[in-house]
Amino acid sequence: MSAKKEKPAKEETKTPAKEKTAEDFGRQMYLESAKALREVGARVILSVGAAILIWIVGELIFVPIAEGLMPVLGYPVPSIISFIIAIALAVIIFTVFIDIRRLTGGIAGVLAYHFGKASGEALTKTYNNYRTALDGIIYVIVVSLAYLLFANYLARIHPAVPAVVLILIVVWAIFALWRSCRAIAAVIGRYTSRWAEELERRVKKK
């Protein structure tokens, strides 16, 4: 009889430990995510502002000046200037992508903490799904806007370059958005399944 009584006592001590671990994990994720949002958010805004400023200066000042100059080593000066500006924009956009990955991770962590805490679901699964969804959607938006900055400069380098780049972007965007939709569907599926289970329990009680 004494051995049988010890088993429930062990089970009762395990449950609070698990809940405490999940709560600590969620709180730590929230703090790290909030810190990432504070650090990266301003940097992303400044990088995007710098890219737009370079594009404006190039379009309104450098390229018009270059159109009145003689070719250098057989290459039109506007094409050379456009190539240099395109490289500068590519470097800035690349740094923006790195920062956006931390930014989406931070947003996903905050969402996973709040929604996971409210619904009681696993924080890691929620975090991964939110991050996948945000990565796909935000990356597609950023790449599309970046293409608008690059298009004119790429056309001056060679008329076919913007078309090839656009085709590659469309193929990649479809795949990225498909992954995002699957991640969102997984989150919604867990909420609907929990709602259905709760409804089923209420019906059985009646």
How far is the C-alpha of 90 from the C-alpha of 45, rounded, in Å?
16
Element of type H or E holding 197:
helix 161-205
CB 123 within 8 A of CB 113: yes
What's the N-to-C CA distance of the chain in angstroms? 36
All structural domains of the chain with their residue ranges: 20-205
Q: Counting beta carbons within 10 angstroms of the beta carbon of residue 128, is it exposed (0 to 12), middle (13 to 18) or buried (19 or more)? A: middle
pLDDT (tens digit, 0 to 9) for every residue of the chain, 206 residues total?
444 444 444 444 444 444 445 556 666 666 776 777 777 777 888 888 888 899 999 888 888 888 877 777 778 888 889 889 989 988 988 888 888 877 777 777 777 666 665 555 556 677 777 778 888 888 898 889 889 888 888 888 888 989 999 999 999 999 999 998 988 887 777 767 767 667 667 666 66
For the record, the structure tokens of 73 come out as 């080593």
- Collapsed DSSP state (helix, strand, coil) of residue 158: coil
Residues 6+ apart with CB under 8 A from 137: 177, 180
**Nearest to 107, CA basis, from 190, 183, 35, 21:** 35
Long-range interactions of 63-71: CB distance < 8 A, separation 24+: 63/156
